[in-house]
Amino acid sequence: MRKILIANRGEIAVRVMRACRDMGLATVAVYSECDRAARHVRMADEAIGIGPNPPRESYLRIDRIIDAARASGADAIHPGYGFLSENEDFAAACREAGLTFIGPTAEAITLMGSKTAARRAAIAAGVPVVPGTEEPLAADVPDAVIVERATQIGFPVMVKAVAGGGGKGMRVVGSPADLPSAIRAARSEAGAAFGDSTIYLERRLERPRHIEVQLLADHHGTVLACVERECSIQRRHQKVIEETPSPVVSPEQRARLTSAAAAVAASVGYTNAGTVEFLFDEQGRFYFLEVNTRIQVEHPVTEMITGVDLVAWQIRIACGERLTLSADQLLTPRGHAIECRVYAEDPDAGFLPSPGLITSLRIPSGPGIRDDGWAETGTDVPVFYDPLISKLIAWGEDRPQAIARMRRALLEYEVRGIRTSLPFFQWMLRQPAFLAGEFHTEFLDELLQRRGVEGFSAIDPSLEEVAAIAACIADAEDASAGRSASPTATTDGRSSKSEGWWDRPALSWKHRARVEALRG
């Protein structure tokens, strides 16, 4: 393998290209019209346009991406996450074109794409699943039969789409009377979203935690599991904070959980990277939920505590290499890592997307900090795609140190021109329940509801202008008094900093940074 086409954009395209460069592999970017000058395009060795901005006309066009791979002489395609990453037709089209798809086989994607087939695989592997139907409920199954099945399972039940995942086509039903209408609604939603209206039932767990296990599996029968990730901090089925290890999983539970995850993968001959999702009930029992057949957004927290480059291993596995990592290295957490997904959205406007021009950007760094991003000063965040601008990851020797470093990094992070979820994270990382590790999948939605309409931003952005004007007046006063008004080097090369405006005690360092950016 010498050249890889990355069928994606944004931070994950950048992340995959970094692994390629580390490995001495050439890279090919693909791009839509608005992305023609994006970071991932300039980072790649070559770049090929694949169409207009709507994903259906570019990043979801299997034909154009395969053509681009052929034209560039790429040997392999990395799909990233989202877009075509879990599309079995894409994996099959790569294979037919003689290209290596860096991911599981088309057959494994198809199998795990059916939530009922995945449940059956888990049951066959001896892994606990939430009580429910093993077979899909086809459109011709009468309501009375479904009500009987639901009563056996026990209310409340969840109606889920067989082709679903990520919360789409899901309904909670509290009593038999509400079941027929919920099934109709779920079927039509699933049919519209996935082109498949079959549904199944599961008993609904109350306030579960969402905990998942990252796997790597090679083509020689080795399946390795990593320390679990805790992903319960979600807003409307979108993860916002992930961490590893989970604050509630004991070493004994970890051993059982990771063995269960590996057993599911081994039983279906799974290859490459994948994630097995579990629900944890309030008694600490775990249940298989589903398998994600891609590299996930939150993979960096696992990399931070294992020291393993998961994307590099995806590539090595796709090349036929054996997994030579030690099981122990992957299962022993080295410290603690937390990730905040920084979105171009306005937390003070119900997390509405906030696309547009980034006029200035300062990315934090320092001990224990990693930022996986793609935006720069001058980047126009498009409206067409997921508004994720970066993933801020903090590593610490323990959870409190990881949190302290994350809070420090959040303070250093400065994005101007658009709104971001940064103020939300500054608030979230001070919530007592978060600090105590006491949360579940419904925690954030409940917390936000209780909180009402107060703003997250400690400083009203409209005051930045006032601060800049104040700084300019101060400059003018300095100038008329014969003091140096801006940082100028003295003739001996030292900075005359002590005389500058920035030493005014009235301005906090946080405000000085803002003023500095505005004057810039």
Q: Which residues are catalytic?
A: 294
Which of positions 202-231 make contact with ligand MV4 (CB under 6 A)? 202-205, 208, 210
If the CB atoms of residues 44 and 279 are measured against ligand MV4, the closer one turns out to be 279
If the CB atoms of residues 68 and 205 are measured against ligand MV4, the closer one turns out to be 205
Please give the size of the binding site for ligand MV4, defined by CB under 6 A.
17
Nearest to 101 by CA among 271, 217, 262: 271
Q: What minimum distance in Å lies between the beta carbon of 84 and ligand MV4?
A: 20
Distance, CA of 463 to CA of 306 (rounded, Å) = 43
Distance, CA of 172 to CA of 157 (rounded, Å) = 6
Q: Which two tokens stand for residue 201?
A: 């039932």
Distance, CA of 272 to CA of 255 (rounded, Å) = 21
Q: Which two tokens stand for residue 222?
A: 């080795």
Q: What minimum distance in Å lies between the beta carbon of 115 and ligand MV4?
A: 8
Which of positions 373-432 make contact with ligand MV4 (CB under 6 A)? none
Helix or strand run (H / E) with residue 276: strand 272-280
Q: Which long-range contacts (CB under 8 A, 24 or more apart) does 62-71 make?
A: 62/87, 62/89, 62/90, 62/93, 64/30, 65/5, 65/7, 65/30, 65/90, 66/93, 66/94, 66/97, 66/99, 68/5, 68/28, 68/30, 69/5, 69/28, 69/94, 69/97, 69/99, 70/97
Q: What minimum distance in Å lies between the beta carbon of 245 and ligand MV4?
A: 18
Q: Which long-range contacts (CB under 8 A, 24 or more apart) does 507-510 make?
A: 507/467, 507/471, 510/411, 510/459
If the CB atoms of residues 205 and 342 are measured against ligand MV4, the closer one turns out to be 205
Task: Reduce the DSSP state of residue 354 to 3 states and report it.
Answer: coil
Q: What minimum distance in Å lies between the beta carbon of 242 and ligand MV4?
A: 11
Distance, CA of 205 to CA of 426 (rounded, Å) = 30
Q: What minimum distance in Å lies between the beta carbon of 353 and ligand MV4?
A: 21
Q: Which residues contact 382 (CB under 8 A, 6 or more apart)?
A: 34, 35, 53, 355
**Torsion-angle region of 126 (φ positive above 0: left; ψ -120 to 50: alpha; else: beta):** left
Identified binder of ligand MV4 from the candidate list 234, 246, 258, 379, rule CB under 6 A: 234
Which of positions 430-449 make contact with ligand MV4 (CB under 6 A)? 441
If the CB atoms of residues 239 and 370 are measured against ligand MV4, the closer one turns out to be 239
Q: What minimum distance in Å lies between the beta carbon of 145 and ligand MV4?
A: 20
Contact pattern for ligand MV4 over residues 251 through 290, marking x by CB under 6 A: ----------------------------x---------xx
Which of positions 146-205 make contact with ligand MV4 (CB under 6 A)? 158, 165-167, 202-205
Q: Which residues contact 427 (CB under 8 A, 6 or more apart)?
A: 456
If the CB atoms of residues 9 and 341 are measured against ligand MV4, the closer one turns out to be 341
Beta strands in 397-506 (DSSP E): 414-416
If the CB atoms of residues 11 and 202 are measured against ligand MV4, the closer one turns out to be 202
113 touches ligand MV4 (CB under 6 A): no
Q: What minimum distance in Å lies between the beta carbon of 166 and ligand MV4?
A: 6
Interface positions with ligand MV4 (CB under 6 A)? 130, 158, 165-167, 202-205, 208, 210, 234, 237, 279, 289-290, 441
